[in-house]
Amino acid sequence: MTLRSKRSAVCAESPTSSCGSTLSLSSILSTSPAKASVVSASSVSSKPIPIVAQKKHSTYVEKGQFHTWIGAMRAQSPPHILSLHSDTPDAFDLETAVHKSWLERHPSALSSFHKVIKNAHKKQIVVFLDYDGTLSPIVEDPERAFMSTEMRATVKDLASCFPTAVISGRSRSKVFDFVQLTELYYAGSHGMDIMGPAKSSDGFRVKGTKSRDKRGNDVVKFQPASEYLPVINKVCNALIESTKSIKGASVEHNKFCVTVHFRRVNEEYWEVLAERVQNVLKDYPTLTLTHGRKVLEVRPCISWDKGKAVEFLLKSLGYKDTGDVIPLYIGDDKTDEDAFKMVNRAKHGCSILVSSVPKPSDAKLSLQDPSEVMEFLRRLVRWKKWGLESRNSIQMGVYDFK
Ligand SMILES: O=P(O)(O)OC[C@H]1O[C@H](O[C@H]2O[C@H](CO)[C@@H](O)[C@H](O)[C@H]2O)[C@H](O)[C@@H](O)[C@@H]1O
């Protein structure tokens, strides 16, 4: 048996909170403009949620730190994807061993399905889904990240069984254009633009502007970073201008945040692109820089993230007591880690990372890719639609889901 170390597929970043952290060495190491927005070039408490503008940060990064960050970015979306489920006895190597040990810490949500639904019959499952990399596969062109018809049908079925929300880094209108399901709740701009139910529970005053959705339901729109809109527009234009000469670079206006895409840029220019972004940010001390899957993201320095959005939606749905609800969150990116932490604090919370390679995460379970996400969601629907008897069989492991 040989131990071969190919290029490591293990992501070097840690799953620390992304919101409000600047692109410091530690964060690096730790890892409606809908249609035309990409320009080429704690437990649930009943207290109101405080939103505090964070201390102004310096967004300056030492040059050498770009190398570390670029390494982390490469590792996050490696070209070589190892399938753990293929029987390849001769291919046992270091990567396989690392991946297997990672899977022991983040078991497959499919093989652990009985554990997910163990406490579910007398409780309310509420499902939160990230979009890119979770409902749709990662593709080169962010404008073409379509979800499949089958996935859309599955999510529609899911929403008929459980309250379901999509929480995305994209603008809310853009993610709605992709998903096209009116029966869901949506939070865009990494949770900074929420359209949720206005069904307040005791002790929680639902914040935001009340209105009616397309189906006539009372909804509330909550935008904790609304005052940043002018500065976000300004920085977006500055980023477009400063990156337009770099082939393949694109800037996506996500309403309350801006995404700079590296995926189609030749890797030899990544450092130049990162430096340009960093230079623009020097003039915007109220904004901060984070990174995701081959992207740098500019966002307001406020203590609001996907985890807070999950908390807000749970409260506005009327679930002030974590004992009554099973919040289930599925996501693939660094910004989803805030949501994983939030649901982990709930008594029966379920956090699932979508990743085909080992990477540090606070998620308890894992799925390899959007096709496994779809299979998992289908199982949830089947479980919900069947009677208790079938559910018991599933829990005892008697039923073969396939
Ligand atoms: O929170 P999410 O819904 O996962 O959004 C995060 C970012 O997703 C998109 O970028 C990612 O997907 C693209 C399409 O597959 C891919 O080209 C890019 O490299 C990925 O980072 C989206 O374009 C961003 O605006 C979101 O912030």
Among 35, 132, 171, 352, name the best residue to mutate to test ligand 1's pocket (greatest count of ligand atoms within 8 A of Cβ): 132
Q: In angstroms, what is the span from residue 238 Cα to ligand 1's centroid?
A: 21
Q: What pLDDT score does 153 carry?
A: 98
Ligand 1 closest atom vs CA 141: 17
Q: In angstroms, what is the span from residue 1 Cα to ligand 1's centroid?
A: 39
**DSSP letter, residue 108:** B
> In this predicted complex, what is the ipTM?
0.99
Burial label for 317, CB within 10 Å (0-12, 13-18, 19+), is buried
Residue nearest to atom 13 of ligand 1 (CA): 142
Q: With a 6 A CB cut-off, is 366 part of the ligand 1 pocket? A: no
Instruction: Give the CATH fold of the 10-74+102-396 domain.
Output: Rossmann fold (3.40.50)
Q: What pLDDT score does 106 carry?
A: 96
Ligand 1 closest atom vs CA 134: 4
Q: With a 6 A CB cut-off, is 308 part of the ligand 1 pocket? A: no
Q: What pLDDT score does 347 carry?
A: 87
- Domain residue extents for the chain: 10-74+102-396
Burial label for 15, CB within 10 Å (0-12, 13-18, 19+), is buried
Q: What pLDDT score does 315 carry?
A: 86
Between CA 183 and CA 153 the distance in angstroms is: 12
pLDDT in tens, the chain (402 residues): 333 333 333 444 444 444 333 343 233 223 333 333 565 544 444 444 456 565 444 444 455 556 666 666 666 665 544 444 455 555 567 888 888 999 999 999 999 999 899 878 889 999 999 999 999 999 999 999 999 999 999 999 999 999 999 999 999 999 999 999 998 999 999 999 998 777 655 555 667 788 787 777 778 889 999 999 999 999 999 999 999 999 999 999 999 999 999 999 999 999 999 999 999 999 999 999 998 999 999 999 999 999 999 999 998 888 866 688 999 999 999 999 999 999 999 988 999 999 999 999 999 999 999 999 999 999 999 999 875 445 555 554 443 333
Calculate the alpha carbon distances from 303 to 19, 26, 309 in Å. 7, 18, 11
Residue nearest to atom 20 of ligand 1 (CA): 293
Number of helical (H) and strand (E) elements in the chain, helices listed first: 12, 14
